[in-house]
Structure 1
Amino acid sequence: MLDNYVTASTSRVKSDKNVPRGKFEELKKTAKKKLSSKAFHSKANLNGVTIEFNGNSHHQYEFWKMNWFEGMKPSVDGRIFSAFGVEGVEPSAYYCPDTNESVFFNTEYYGQCKSWALGMAAAVLERDFNTHSIHGACAQVEGKGVIIVAPTGTGKTTQAFKLMELPGGRVVGDDWVYINHDEGENQGYLVGRQPEKSLYMRTETQKDKPWLRNTFDESKCENIVVNKKECEFTDGEYGCKMTGNTCVFNDGNRWCYYAFGNSRALVRREDLLGADKIADDARVDLLVLLRRDATSPAAVRLDADKAVEVLKKGEFMVRPGAGPKDMWGKLGSEPWYNPYLLRLDNARQEQFFRDMISKFGVKCLLLNTGVESIESTHKRILKALASS
């Protein structure tokens, strides 16, 4: 039986990431009042930074415990207060830079909670440890590592998994990479690490990788469509617009993993293809930026200036589930393709990426998945890795 939880808000809620301390204390007071009667608490270790969860949603708490390694330090570097069922308050999220704390109201959707935890840890790591936080996938093949940075829906997870499936391939993570530049100075090269015990995966990846269905069937899921009437992609009585084939419900399945663009599964990394197909870190030899449009060249080699120009602009098409519903299908902008940086320092981000390419010699490619097949993009990445 599918282990699936449907949240009241199925995507990110409206937010304010720069709340003054005085106003934030009032918001926190409201949240803590609701949490005083019932709350779950858990500390997470995100690359040495401890973020504490306090909330009354068992779903969020359960995903939090499975997602992260346990934080063992007595002190904490940031706190999240997530209060569900607060009357008279619309679903919303607030962050206070002064205290490195967040408050969520009336949303059990785990994705935003997870991403803000990463952003809170990133603020500490950047400030205190000269560590660059990148929203991207990381994999290695025969000891050579690649970081794939892209807006949602352009194929970074797909490409990372194709690399993992190779005989000498392993995946580090599919969403977030930490790079300590002080360590890089000492070693002469950069190393990418990821903080997650389990991967919070878009289940639509199962469309291109059928073997993931069994994996997702054994995982805890969020917002999976279990009724054909709720599917966004039906084509007539029997068809599917996503695949061009027969609807999975008509094939006798009781749920569909790609009927909603933001359905998720929380999968232990070792449950993907086995413990020997995962790695905790990878030397960074290649940086791949992905875009998806019908007119740009298939591949462009970028120097540091051009890479920074693309990353700083951060243009992308907003996909369902990747932002407010009124923005779905419209052109958006997320500098550095990282909406999770709660304390955005553009100058620091620029320097991190410049150093990666210029100082540490990481090759950078911009690939367009809108004009080539998945396999063609995969071959370009392999060729670039081989020559790195």
Structure 2
Amino acid sequence: MSSYEVEIISPSKKDELLAELGREVVFERKANIHGACVKLLTDSESFKEEWEDNFKFMNEEIRPHAKIFATSNNGELQVLYEPLSKTCIIRNCDYYGWVKSIALATISDFFEEYHSENRRYSVHGSVVDFEGHAIAIIGPPGTGKSTLTYGLMMNKKFNYISDDWFFTRLFENSVVVYSSEKNSYIRDDVADVWVDFRDQIQRVKLDNKNRGIVDVKNLFNGRIRESSTLKSIILLERNPANIPFKEMDIEEAIQYMKETDYCNPHQLIRDERKYNLRMQFFQEIFSKMEVYLLNTIESPLESLNQINNLIK
């Protein structure tokens, strides 16, 4: 699935576009994303329904910290972002995955602007809790982070936090991670890898990309956590020339993040200041815990066993 380009626009251009889009908006819904209010305005009933299933509810009286305008007209996908008001306009979109990821990217930009005060950052990756400590899995798209997350959840000692994006707060002596979404936007092929989840996933209503929102409380029998203390990070690659698993030092981990563009295709602003903020965050977080590199050239089960052996 191809990525998209982000066009940064001025406040006056935003006002001009919103005057046009105002006639197209039919549905409005607010979501609570890590305590911040994000408002969706769309002409798509399916986007509205998936948004409601995906994110936690936010009281309508709360003013939004960010706004997402998503229209589903035919044409070439456009993503336009006005940073001052944290307004993102997504035109000609036929895929809810863009809507939810861009919403998370927008509120992540909001938190980045207050980095010196609240020390809250976002990470495009998954995270699970194991007996009170969290394990994060971070990798470029297609390296298997969601597959491995669901594989870990077959073990009843694990608790689900997030399978796609999570938030962090840096403290002097620890890093606390937080969930980003109420439910998971899952691919149907996860059930082909881990048959334990086949019955529940087959009942999920899929969209035109064979993805759908699954109720994680039911899927994992209530093994859900809103937050946990991060213990270790597993970075992913898929490179036949390298060994399956190794521990990394800080310099190696930082170089990995540079080479993979922070494992995040959803960065609305890519300038030197933002890159420096993100690099400073990862330097600090890598200095506080164990970091490993898992090469997912093996089968999903073999890669899962590498993680389980580490835990043991």
Q: TM-score, normalised by structure 2?
A: 0.91
**1:281-304: CA deviations, max 9, x gaps?**
221111001111211121222111
Q: Distance in 2 between matches of 1:13 and 1:287?
A: 26
Q: Is the 2:6–2:268 contact (alpha carbons within 8 Å) kept by the matching residues of 1?
A: no
Once superposed, which parts of structure 1, at least 4 consecutive aligned residues long, lie more than 6 Å away? Answer: none
- Correspondence list, 1:241-320, <5 A: 262-275=209-222, 277-314=223-260
Tell me the amino acid that sits aligned with residue 216 of structure 2: R
Tell me the amino acid that sits aligned with residue 159 of structure 2: R
Q: Is the 2:37–2:62 contact (alpha carbons within 8 Å) kept by the matching residues of 1?
A: no
* Match 2:202 to one of 198, 217, 220: 217
Cα deviation for residue 16 of structure 1 reads 2.2
Check if 1:59 corresponds to 2:5. no
Give the structure 1 partner of residue 121 of structure 2: 132
- Correspondence list, 1:346-385, <5 A: 346-358=275-287, 360=288, 362-370=289-297, 372-385=298-311
Cα deviation for residue 366 of structure 1 reads 0.8
Task: Return closer, same or farther for 1:23/1:284 CA change in 2, 3 Å cut-off.
Answer: same
SS at match of 2:51: helix
Root-mean-square deviation (CA, aligned residues, Å) is 1.9
Q: Is the 1:141–1:166 contact (alpha carbons within 8 Å) kept by the matching residues of 2?
A: no
* Match 2:262 to one of 336, 357, 377: 336
Q: Is the 1:150–1:337 contact (alpha carbons within 8 Å) kept by the matching residues of 2?
A: yes
Tell me the amino acid that sits aligned with residue 153 of structure 1: G
Task: Return closer, same or farther for 1:130/1:64 CA change in 2, 3 Å cut-off.
Answer: same
* Match 1:144 to one of 130, 133, 140: 133
Task: Return closer, same or farther for 1:355/1:14 CA change in 2, 3 Å cut-off.
Answer: closer
* Match 2:24 to one of 34, 41, 53: 34
Cα deviation for residue 219 of structure 1 reads 2.1
Matched residues, number? 305
Q: Which has the larger radius of gyration?
A: 1
Give the structure 1 partner of residue 164 of structure 2: 175
Q: Distance in 2 between matches of 1:220 and 1:105?
A: 24
Cα deviation for residue 339 of structure 1 reads 1.6
- Correspondence list, 1:72-221, <5 A: 72=59, 74-85=62-73, 90-128=76-114, 129-181=118-170, 184-185=171-172, 188-221=173-206
SS at match of 2:258: helix
Q: Distance in 1 between matches of 2:86 and 2:105?
A: 10
Q: Is the 2:177–2:227 contact (alpha carbons within 8 Å) kept by the matching residues of 1?
A: yes
Give the structure 2 partner of residue 322 of structure 1: none
Cα deviation for residue 148 of structure 1 reads 0.1
SS at match of 2:8: coil
Q: Distance in 2 between matches of 1:52 and 1:357?
A: 33
Q: Is the 2:24–2:42 contact (alpha carbons within 8 Å) kept by the matching residues of 1?
A: no
Cα deviation for residue 308 of structure 1 reads 1.0
SS at match of 2:16: helix
Q: Is the 2:204–2:212 contact (alpha carbons within 8 Å) kept by the matching residues of 1?
A: yes
**1:87-141: CA deviations, max 9, x gaps?**
xx63322111122101122223101110011011111222223212001111122
Q: Distance in 2 between matches of 1:93 and 1:33?
A: 19
Task: Return closer, same or farther for 1:105/1:211 CA change in 2, 3 Å cut-off.
Answer: same
Tell me the amino acid that sits aligned with residue 379 of structure 1: N
SS at match of 2:206: strand
Cα deviation for residue 12 of structure 1 reads 6.0
Q: Is the 2:146–2:163 contact (alpha carbons within 8 Å) kept by the matching residues of 1?
A: yes
Task: Return closer, same or farther for 1:14/1:284 CA change in 2, 3 Å cut-off.
Answer: closer
Q: Distance in 2 between matches of 1:118 and 1:310?
A: 23
Q: Is the 1:220–1:265 contact (alpha carbons within 8 Å) kept by the matching residues of 2?
A: yes
Identity %: 25
**Stretches of structure 2 lacking an aligned partner (at least 5 in a row):** none
Q: Which 10-residue stretch deviates more, 40-49 or 101-110?
A: 101-110
Tell me the amino acid that sits aligned with residue 100 of structure 1: K
**1:28-81: CA deviations, max 9, x gaps?**
22212322xxx1111101001111011110000000111111112521101111
**Stretches of structure 1 lacking an aligned partner (at least 5 in a row):** 1-10, 224-261, 315-334
